[in-house]
Structure 1
Amino acid sequence: MAERMLQFVRLSQAQPEKRDVAARRSDFGEIYREFAADAAAEQSSRCSQCGVPFCSVHCPLNNNIPDWLKLTAEGRLEEAYEVSAATNTFPEICGRICPQDRLCEGNCVIEKGFESVTIGAVEKYITDTAWEKGWVKPPTPRQELPWSVGIIGAGPGGLAAAEKLRLRGYQVHVYDRYDRVGGLMIYGIPNFKLEKEVVLRRWQQYEAGGIHFHLNCAVGQDVTLAELRERHDAVFIATGVYKARDIEGIGSGLGGIVAALDYLTASNRDNLGDAVPDFASGALNAQGKRVVVVGGGDTAMDCVRTAVRQGAAAVTCLYRRDKANMPGSMREVKNAEEEGVEFAWLAAPEAFVGDAGSAGGGEGQVSGVRAVRMHLGLPDATGRQQVAPIPGSAFTIPCDLAIKALGFDPEDLPRAFDEPALPVTRWGTLRVHHRTMMTDLPGVFAGGDIVRGASLVVWAIRDGRDAADQIDAYVKAKAGNKLAVAAE
């Protein structure tokens, strides 16, 4: 091991090369180039092979990171892929979009003195190589089981559960209200972070493995939850959260003020070749406009960087805390700064300003966001610094398009699914028994954002994999009880 590993003392950290800023501002291609094989092996060899690997401890999937880094350093890539895929359903996606600076890489033990191992880039390289070499196979079970499971939601949580259950032989049916598989990975995350072919090839692979997809199927409209419970031995709800948080106030009804997900979905659909009337009309297109994005998370970074690529005249991110307190990935903030995004730190929106509207009573069009400077105070109960406005500090940022990227809340699923007995918490998320992941409805399980609240793709994958284990135990126990009763 000493010959190949522990090379951080002589090798510096090197991320894959980024495309030129001018080039990446003009298209939606991923900004990082591929690692060369030698570079991936070298960067993997920087791993210190800790006795207690904090990278794994701080990964929601507890990936065996030191193991597949060592295998990559030794050129044993197929084995590295097998180790990686053993704990992660989508390593090629996590390698692209996980905030490694807050998770595995941020907790690498060599980070302080030598900079962390480039874990995410190596993870992406391993799995992209596996796809190229044909090592990624459809989830084909050794034997078919007579039981079926219905999964509501074709996002990362639902797909992770579907793959694991299918490998065990279950008949798996996935229901989704959209026309493509992938959820927010398709419609919410821009191509420059996650090219859509990376997600769509998984869809093809899962269909080849016998997973059945029912798209354009809205539970509560096209089929009820009660019908799914009758049809399947268990149901897993992994819908995610899509209801945009909003801010009310002066001018909030002006034209040109849009929700982040509407804006990102329009852009992603246009890039997929779909006809998007609101994009074509300019309502959800930033071309030539002065854009202000309100918010500081990863969705806000997706919006500002999308606006740059659409040819916005100016792009400003308005965030009420400072850079150090942003909830989003610092890597994404750096990329946005490189691409020309302006940041108004410690500034909160106070009102939207615009013209008076038409004589017919229209609201008019937004022309600016009036904001007030904020002061960071003492930490609250969560440990995060509170913010307070500074009197007399108001200022206005001109804009033609204001995008609200304030996060997401759960939809009212009991009403949407026409199932009043579906239990929810005071936050509107589904309430489950956390040991079994089952709701109060027998055989109905839930996981991902609809239980956690808005979170990361990697946590949805973790919940989907865990739910598959719980569903398997539940279905087999129920079948065993039926056999025992029949025997009596």
Structure 2
Amino acid sequence: MPKQQMLRFVTVEREMPQKRPADLRTEDFDEIYREFAAEKAAEQAGRCSQCGVPYCQTHCPLHNNIPDWLMLTAQGRLQEAYDISQSTNTFPEICGRICPQDRLCEGNCVIEQSGHGTVTIGSVEKYITDTAWQEGWVKPVTPTTERPESVAVIGAGPGGLAAADVLRRAGVQVTVYDRYDRAGGLMTYGIPGFKLEKPIVMRRIEQLEQGGVEFVLNCNVGDDISFDAIRGKHDAVLIATGVYKARDLNAPNAGATGVMKALDYLTASNRKSFGDDVAEFDSGVLDARGKRVVVIGGGDTAMDCVRTAIRQGATSVKCLYRRDRENMPGSRRETQNAEEEGVEFVWLAAPAGFVTGDDGSVTGVRVQKMRLGQPDASGRRSPEVIDGADYTEDADMAIMALGFEAEDLPTLWGVPELPVTRWGTVRAKFNTHETDMPGVWAVGDIVRGASLVVWAIRDGREAAQSILNYLSAPAQVAAE
């Protein structure tokens, strides 16, 4: 296909895959976007300008070769498009679903900045890989040569799984340890099905298992096995635990019945989607049905909570955020989806405490009205309390989605020498992801703090290459 046939952004408008109507999609936890048809995917991919400096690629944490696989999709060469996509991204179909493209690749698309509307990069990425699965192009990992070295990966989230994939392809023996009964980390238990259906995650884990990755689940390091034992059993260790400790709200009645942490709420909902028995959900504690729900926070986790509550049949769902719409950290696309589904956003509002009834259950959230003052060190305008403007939002359930912090791994694992920062995250080198402990690497949120799946994938892939270099170094020295 001649290059000029790619420059169709002038005559073809941007178009996303069709969204299921809000009144229908809130009845279930299925994904809300329909699949592109082949012709539509090719048409939208053909809007790419094939610019000389592809900002989409530059602003993708994985530096995916986006222009090339868009061109191949426009030409109908989907298997080649998948091969290029998979070469830089362990989970392209997952990133195509959950990456905030509006802040990354699509948000930096050249034709978007020229006023023609961005290429729908994420939707095409999802289409390419979904087609690859349907056509049988996705195969289990088959290393050409098996190596004797073994690597332990602690944490089966995106960073750990990405590293396991790269290491296994090189023939290294890989064992993944995880505290949960299913691998996948937050992709499995933290992200709702309407954004990422669980079979999408499970088939990738099955692919890794078929390729020889061993999973040791329901395993709490420090309790079921010591960190030192893992180090002694393997030639290298990668820490990829993520951050699961919820930030607390120091406010009156924060421990009241009905005030809960976002991850507890989302995990219960996701477990129900697997068909698990979840006592706290079945008793109604973690079920929003028939309740007035208030979610506190403005990030993607808060968006997941409000949209889950709508699907569970909440009477009303409100989201409190202390800044305004323009300054919220969550995806604009997710905010729009939530509003379409009936969520009410209360901007410039911060929780001051909780009101309880005679039985100790929450009945409302005390709200402080805010205004935006001068920018802080990050450049965002700081919220300031408006004196005398407090009021109460009625609530039968209050969900705190205030972000996550690192657990105290040195204490939990009995390894005080594990280097951590003042925030409790593991200290590791920026490029190699090595820690100061010999033979130990760390990646993802446990190093960065709460971040994006795509950054964890990048870290995991980089660390795996660093580990391979480390494992090969003794042989190289001996050869000399």
**Structures share fold, TM-score greater than 0.5:** yes
Counterpart AA for 1:117: V
Counterpart AA for 2:48: C
User: Deviations for 1:42-73, whole angstroms, at most 9, x for unmatched residues?
Assistant: 00000000100000000000000000000000
Q: Report the counterpart of residue 360 of structure 1 in structure 2.
A: none
Q: Is 1:4–1:73's contact at 8 Å kept on the other side of the alignment? A: no
Q: Report the counterpart of residue 126 of structure 2 in structure 1.
A: 124
1:343 corresponds to which of 342, 345, 351:
345
Q: Is 2:432–2:462's contact at 8 Å kept on the other side of the alignment? A: no
Q: For the residues of structure 2 that align with 1:213 and 1:189, how far apart are their CA atoms? A: 21
SS in 2 for 1:369: strand
SS in 2 for 1:367: strand
Q: Is 1:372–1:395's contact at 8 Å kept on the other side of the alignment? A: yes
Change (3 A) 1:435 1:98: closer
Counterpart AA for 2:37: A
Counterpart AA for 1:237: I
Q: Report the counterpart of residue 51 of structure 2 in structure 1.
A: 50
User: Deviations for 1:267-302, whole angstroms, at most 9, x for unmatched residues?
Assistant: 000111000000000100000000000000000000
User: Deviations for 1:343-367, whole angstroms, at most 9, x for unmatched residues?
Assistant: 000011111001243xxxxxx0100
- Percent of aligned pairs sharing the same letter: 65
Q: Which stretch of the first structure deviates more once superposed, 389-398 or 236-245?
A: 389-398
Q: Report the counterpart of residue 370 of structure 2 in structure 1.
A: 374
Counterpart AA for 2:63: N
2:392 corresponds to which of 396, 399, 404:
396
Q: For the residues of structure 2 that align with 1:251 and 1:265, how far apart are their CA atoms? A: 24
Q: For the residues of structure 2 that align with 1:378 and 1:402, how far apart are their CA atoms? A: 30
Q: Report the counterpart of residue 380 of structure 2 in structure 1.
A: 384
2:165 corresponds to which of 163, 166, 187:
163
Q: Report the counterpart of residue 361 of structure 1 in structure 2.
A: none
SS in 2 for 1:8: coil
Q: For the residues of structure 2 that align with 1:348 and 1:435, how far apart are their CA atoms? A: 38
User: What are the equivalent positions in structure 2 for 1:67-146 lying under 5 Å apart?
Assistant: 67-112=68-113, 113-146=115-148
Q: For the residues of structure 1 that align with 2:475 and 2:316, how far apart are their CA atoms? A: 61
Counterpart AA for 2:303: M
Q: For the residues of structure 2 that align with 1:257 and 1:480, how far apart are their CA atoms? A: 57
Counterpart AA for 1:139: V
1:443 corresponds to which of 439, 442, 445:
439
Aligned-residue offset at 1:218: 1.1
SS in 1 for 2:416: coil
- Are 1:38 and 2:7 an aligned pair? no
- Are 1:22 and 2:23 an aligned pair? yes
Q: For the residues of structure 1 that align with 2:415 and 2:7, how far apart are their CA atoms? A: 56
Q: For the residues of structure 2 that align with 1:479 and 1:297, how far apart are their CA atoms? A: 47
Q: Report the counterpart of residue 211 of structure 1 in structure 2.
A: 213
Aligned-residue offset at 1:420: 1.0
Q: Report the counterpart of residue 429 of structure 2 in structure 1.
A: 433
Q: Could you tell me which runs of 5 or more consecutive residues in structure 2 were left unpaired when the two chains were aligned.
A: none
SS in 1 for 2:288: coil
Q: Could you tell me which runs of 5 or more consecutive residues in structure 1 were left unpaired when the two chains were aligned.
A: 358-363
Q: Is 2:404–2:450's contact at 8 Å kept on the other side of the alignment? A: yes
Q: For the residues of structure 1 that align with 2:321 and 2:432, how far apart are their CA atoms? A: 39
Q: For the residues of structure 1 that align with 2:270 and 2:143, how far apart are their CA atoms? A: 34
SS in 2 for 1:406: coil
2:235 corresponds to which of 233, 245, 248:
233
SS in 2 for 1:110: helix
2:470 corresponds to which of 468, 474, 484:
474
Q: Which stretch of the first structure deviates more once superposed, 8-17 or 106-115?
A: 106-115
Counterpart AA for 2:64: N
- Are 1:63 and 2:59 an aligned pair? no
Q: Report the counterpart of residue 283 of structure 1 in structure 2.
A: 285
User: Deviations for 1:109-155, whole angstroms, at most 9, x for unmatched residues?
Assistant: 11131110000000000000000000011111000011111100110
Q: Is 2:152–2:237's contact at 8 Å kept on the other side of the alignment? A: yes
- Are 1:317 and 2:308 an aligned pair? no
Counterpart AA for 2:408: D
- Are 1:410 and 2:412 an aligned pair? no
Q: For the residues of structure 2 that align with 1:206 and 1:416, how far apart are their CA atoms? A: 29
TM value normalised by structure 2: 0.98
Q: For the residues of structure 1 that align with 2:266 and 2:431, how far apart are their CA atoms? A: 36
SS in 2 for 1:86: helix
Aligned-residue offset at 1:440: 1.2
Counterpart AA for 2:118: S
TM value normalised by structure 1: 0.97
Q: For the residues of structure 2 that align with 1:463 and 1:419, how far apart are their CA atoms? A: 23
2:298 corresponds to which of 296, 299, 306:
296
1:308 corresponds to which of 301, 307, 310:
310
Q: Which stretch of the first structure deviates more once superposed, 217-226 or 287-296?
A: 217-226
Q: Which stretch of the first structure deviates more once superposed, 211-220 or 182-191?
A: 211-220
Aligned-residue offset at 1:378: 1.1
User: Deviations for 1:399-419, whole angstroms, at most 9, x for unmatched residues?
Assistant: 000000000000011111111
2:201 corresponds to which of 199, 202, 206:
199
Q: For the residues of structure 2 that align with 1:478 and 1:220, how far apart are their CA atoms? A: 30
Q: For the residues of structure 1 that align with 2:308 and 2:428, how far apart are their CA atoms? A: 37
Counterpart AA for 2:423: W
SS in 1 for 2:6: coil
Aligned-residue offset at 1:4: 2.5
Counterpart AA for 1:235: V
Aligned-residue offset at 1:480: 3.8
Q: For the residues of structure 1 that align with 2:228 and 2:139, how far apart are their CA atoms? A: 34
Counterpart AA for 2:38: A
SS in 2 for 1:223: coil
User: Deviations for 1:160-193, whole angstroms, at most 9, x for unmatched residues?
Assistant: 0000000001001111111111000000000000
Counterpart AA for 2:194: F
Q: Report the counterpart of residue 248 of structure 1 in structure 2.
A: 250
Aligned-residue offset at 1:2: 3.6
> Number of residues paired by the alignment?
478
Q: For the residues of structure 1 that align with 2:265 and 2:127, how far apart are their CA atoms? A: 31
